[in-house]
Amino acid sequence: MSSARRGSTILGALALVFILVGQYWGLVKAPPDAYQGDSQRIMYLHVPSILTAYLSFFIVFVGSCLYLWKREPRDDILAYAAAEIGVLFTALTIVEGAIWGKPTWGVWWTWDARLTLTAILLLIFVAYLMLRALIEEEQRAAVSGAILGIIGFLDIPLIHMSVYWWRTLHQPPSILQPDKPPWENVHPSMLVALAINFVAFILLYFYLLSQRIRLGEKQAELRRRRLYGRR
């Protein structure tokens, strides 16, 4: 228990260090973008956030499968925790993207495939949380969540495909293409900033996840104590 706690704390500290370094690198050391100027620097947050969100979805899936299979409350706690943090990072991505979009595209939102996909991701995660919150009985809520976690994950490739085709097969790609940064002439320190921020976000993610799992375990422990009395 306490070694897990220590690990989590170290993770948190590391994440903090990397975030600080990454921000320094992103905000100060990396040169401004040739076309977009300083607003491009938000990329150093934006891209790592969506990456962690994807990771989250995968962890929800794994936790859900394990829970249905083994019925260990531990796996359910994992899935729930990952879903909650997933919402956070997906929302973060969208907010960052929107903030980025306003100066570059002139609008907060556009129906680009990638944006749409991210929004759908958010909706699925949110539906997961709602579903769990609106079912009274604990076991029922856990099982229902697991089912949504699995089905949702299976659905992602299909949603991905359909949304991309929707935007590409149907009409010419929109003039706005956020996914084509001028990689050819990227400054190396841009890449370094991005890499550091990747690591920072992954660390941060696992730190939050471990904390959230701990919270879930504490709640379960509390319920057990109420039942069996202090031991």
Partner 1 sequence: MELLRQACWLLWKDVRLELRRRESLMSMFFFGALLLFLFQFSFEIRQDRVAEMTPGLLWLAFVFTGMLALTQLFQPERENFCLEALLLTPFDRAALFVSKVIFNLILMLLVELVVFPLFAILFNLQYWGLLPSLFAVTFLGTLGFCVLGTLFSAVTLKARARELLLPLVLFPLLIPVVLATIRCLEIILRSGAWSEAYPWLRLLIAFDVIFMTAGYLIFEWVVEA
Partner 2 sequence: MRQLSKAFGSQWALRDVSFDLRAGECVALLGQNGAGKTTLLKLLSALMRPTSGAIELARPAVGYLVPGAHLYEHLTVGENLRLFLALHNNKKTPAEVEKALSRASLTGAQDWLVSALSAGMKCRLLIAKWLLVEPGLLLLDEPYGPLDGAGVDLLESFVSELTRAQTAVIIATHQIPRALALCSRALVLTRGRLVFDGPRDDAAANLDRLGESLLPRGEAWSY
The pair of structure tokens assigned to 105 is 């595209």
Q: Yes or no: say if 152 and 126 are a contact pair by the CB < 8 Å rule.
A: no
C-alpha distances in Å from residue 23, one per residue of 54, 86, 188, 220: 22, 22, 16, 37
What residue 230 binds from partner 1, ligand HEM, partner 2, none (CB within 5 to 8 A, per partner kind)? Answer: none
User: Candidates 59-67, 112-120, 123-131, 153-161 — which segment interacts with ligand HEM by CB under 6 A?
Assistant: 112-120
Binding mask 83-122 for partner 1 (x = CB under 8 A): ------------------------xxx-x----x--xx--
Taking the complex as a whole, the smallest distance from the CB of residue 12 to partner 2 amounts, in Å, to 32
Round to whole Å and give the CA distance between 201 and 198: 5
What residue 118 binds from partner 2, partner 1, ligand HEM, none (CB within 5 to 8 A, per partner kind)? Answer: ligand HEM
Identified binder of partner 1 from the candidate list 146, 193, 194, 209, rule CB under 8 A: 146
The pair of structure tokens assigned to 175 is 């003039």
C-alpha distances in Å from residue 169, one per residue of 105, 162, 164: 23, 10, 8
Regarding 226 and contact with partner 2 (CB under 8 A), the answer is: yes
The pair of structure tokens assigned to 78 is 């994992």
Binding mask 170-189 for partner 1 (x = CB under 8 A): xx------------------
Binding mask 117-156 for partner 2 (x = CB under 8 A): ----------------------x-----------------
Regarding 101 and contact with ligand HEM (CB under 6 A), the answer is: yes
Round to whole Å and give the CA distance between 61 and 150: 5
Q: How many CB atoms lie within 10 A of CB 111?
A: 11
Q: Which is nearer to ligand HEM, 97 or 149 (CB)?
A: 97
Regarding 115 and contact with ligand HEM (CB under 6 A), the answer is: yes
Q: Yes or no: say if 84 and 96 are a contact pair by the CB < 8 Å rule.
A: no
Which letter, b or e, does each residue of 132-143 get, where b requires 16 or more Cβ atoms within 10 Å of its Cβ?
beeeeeeeebbb
* Beta carbons within 8 Å of 228's beta carbon, 6+ residues apart: none
Regarding 227 and contact with partner 2 (CB under 8 A), the answer is: yes
Task: List residues near ligand HEM by CB under 6 A.
Answer: 43, 46-47, 50, 93-94, 97-98, 100-101, 104-105, 109, 114-115, 118, 178-179, 181
**Site residues for partner 2 per CB under 8 A:** 139, 223, 226-227
